[in-house]
Structure 1
Amino acid sequence: MEKRLDNTIDVVIITGLSGAGKSQAIRVMEDLGFFCVDNLPPNLLPKFGELIVQSTGKIKKIALVIDIRGREFFSSLNEGLDELKQQGLRIEIFFLEASDETLIRRFKESRRRHPLSESGRILDGIQLERRILSDLRGRANRIIDTTDLSVQNLRNQIVELFAQEEKKGTMKITFMSFGFKYGVPRDVDLLMDVRFLPNPHYIPELRPLTGNDEPVQTYVMQSQATRLFLRKFYSLLRFLIPHYVKEGKSHLAIAIGCTGGKHRSVTLTNRLAKVLAKHNYSLTIKHRDIEKDRERGGDERS
């Protein structure tokens, strides 16, 4: 793992879809002590980098919002990012997105016009923006889908990702359990489907419990298929993570899904996180849908 030098300057590029939360994100970064610039034209990145380097360490953390408002300069973005790296700055691209339906609702509520919507249809602008930003999204180190996030939840996630500077250089891993019945999470790097494992839903005394309860854990773990899956998936992660770190990735989001996100996925998410906690990783566990069947009063098969 590359060691962090005391004079390393961090530059976070905040970008993504219009309406996905970039304005909220840069306000949080400013609260965290970052020097923030909104709507910097990409072709000014090299000159901005020179000024930062010449500050002789007075500015150590920078957050720049670069988005579709500077689309006439977008062709120079990749070149500008590469020049920043050559200047010795460490670059992270932080990409925010949301579903089409959510973005349309947000634009209507704010009565704003999408910057690319020449036809007047918001959806046309969103789809064009997705195409233009697809390459940049592919380069992103961190992606957050704000579809189901409140402003406070988005703030909490950003603080979690960027506040602990002493852990810079340590891979941050988020384990998320989820239910396929409630949709696949968008902002993940690895997704595993464990619906092939024995389902505690069909055991009456286990049905109201969750994967956080010992009886459910015992039932799920007694399966030979479960134990074999855990060994193989753990082995895969031990192979992948060092390669992700080598390529500059600092955050890995792993989602494990079953039908309702209540029994199997919760059990396996907890088990994998417990094993990886023995290594030098910063771990977060989220059970996205564990209470959904109670909230909706349904009979979810998890």
Structure 2
Amino acid sequence: MIDAAPSPAPPSVRPLLLVTGLAGAGKSTALAVLEDLGWETIDNFPVRMLKSLVTTPDDAHAPLAIGFDSRTRGFVPAEIIALVKELSERPDLALTSLFLDCAGGELERRFNETRRRHPMADGRAVQEGIAAERELLEPLRRWAEVLIDTSLMTSNDLQTRMRELFAPADAAAALTVTISSFGFARGMPPLADLVFDMRFLDNPHWIPGLREQTGQDRAVGEHIARDPAFAEAFARIRDLLLLLLPRYGAQGKPYVHIAFGCTGGRHRSVYTAETMADALRAAGFSPTVRHRNLGSRTADAIEGNAR
């Protein structure tokens, strides 16, 4: 029995993960994480049909996760183990079994909190149903290559552990990063994860010849970069993002929206967003850049009188 990630399968071999365990131990959560990681997932699949499923011609080679437990039709542990042994000999499959375990007292607490019936209680006390299911599943628990005990885990803990075990090696690179610019005068972006206010920089709006240009124009960028505060502030924000983004990815957050704001959303925020996108690309990320108010007209009333 191990609690470690399976070895990566060759490109021509399809990973197949069988996910089972005690009711209430977290199977649905585990399958949801796998789906987010790009696995094809099927829950409560009749196990006797598994051989037909993986024999069907399929051009897709996405990893496949099959969830089943004591509620699944035709659930007989000995027959499942025999089938698993047969499928393990297939050269086109890399088969792994995952068993989700949990202490009886914790399972009882979970069922009482959710007010759900235990599938094997059948009119008996929940602890009797848990004991009966544990006895039924013991052969599968002994057989499984990967065991996760969720007794002391929160749902977030289990999600993190699943990502540690089954996320592809380049999962951090799959993080979708959006960098945007906006004008505070026209409202803050409602869905930004991180917002940086660049209004401490000198405003090009009040410089003759720069007002009608934008942060995408060279002259405006050079003006902003000459501000004594820009270089240090930019470096600190960049270093913060390089610290946070991999940790967001490790926590399973698929999207991160970073917004830079200034008064009108045409100069300081635009230049900073473009420059930060270049810095993140150099660090291995692939951000998408959006400028919400770049096309807005200039207005002294919006920019205010402060220079």
TM-score by length of 1: 0.51
CA offset digits 1:47-87 (Å, max 9, x no partner) = 01112xx113x133011101111263325312322332233
Match for residue 130 of structure 2? 126
Cα RMSD (Å) of the superposition?
Answer: 2.0
Q: Helix, strand or coil for the counterpart of 1:124? A: helix
Matches within 5 A, 1:92-241: 92-165=96-169
CA drift at 1:4: 4.3
Match of 2:18 among 5, 13, 22: 13
Match for residue 78 of structure 1? 81
Q: Structure 1 residues 71, 124: CA separation in 2 closer, same or farther (over 3 Å shift)? A: farther
Distance 2:21 2:70 in 1: 8
Distance 1:17 1:60 in 2: 27
How many residue pairs get matched? 163
- Greater Rg, structure 1 or structure 2? 2
Q: Say if 2:9 and 2:94, in contact at 8 Å, map to a contact too.
A: no
Q: Structure 1 residues 97, 71: CA separation in 2 closer, same or farther (over 3 Å shift)? A: farther
Match for residue 234 of structure 1? none
Distance 1:24 1:137 in 2: 19
Structure 1 residues without counterparts, runs of 5 or longer: 168-302
TM-score by length of 2: 0.50
Distance 1:87 1:127 in 2: 35
Distance 1:109 1:136 in 2: 27
Q: Helix, strand or coil for the counterpart of 2:18? A: strand
Distance 1:79 1:45 in 2: 12
CA drift at 1:149: 0.8
Q: Say if 1:41 and 1:70, in contact at 8 Å, map to a contact too.
A: yes
Distance 1:37 1:11 in 2: 11
Q: Say if 1:118 and 1:125, in contact at 8 Å, map to a contact too.
A: yes
Q: Structure 1 residues 132, 71: CA separation in 2 closer, same or farther (over 3 Å shift)? A: farther
CA drift at 1:103: 0.2
Match of 1:87 among 90, 107, 127: 90
Structure 2 residues without counterparts, runs of 5 or longer: 1-6, 172-307
CA offset digits 1:238-257 (Å, max 9, x no partner) = xxxxxxxxxxxxxxxxxxxx
Match for residue 278 of structure 1? none
Q: Say if 2:47 and 2:74, in contact at 8 Å, map to a contact too.
A: no
Distance 1:72 1:43 in 2: 7
CA drift at 1:138: 0.7
Match of 1:48 among 36, 53, 58: 53
Distance 2:108 2:81 in 1: 29
Distance 1:48 1:86 in 2: 16
- Percent pairwise identity: 33
Which amino acid in structure 2 is aligned with residue 76 of structure 1?
E
CA drift at 1:23: 0.6
CA offset digits 1:140-179 (Å, max 9, x no partner) = 1111111111111110010000113479xxxxxxxxxxxx
Q: Helix, strand or coil for the counterpart of 1:125? A: helix
Which amino acid in structure 2 is aligned with residue 34 of structure 1?
W
Greater share of helix residues, 1 or 2? 1
Distance 2:8 2:114 in 1: 45
Match for residue 223 of structure 2? none
Which amino acid in structure 2 is aligned with residue 137 of structure 1?
R
Distance 1:114 1:151 in 2: 19
Distance 1:126 1:32 in 2: 31
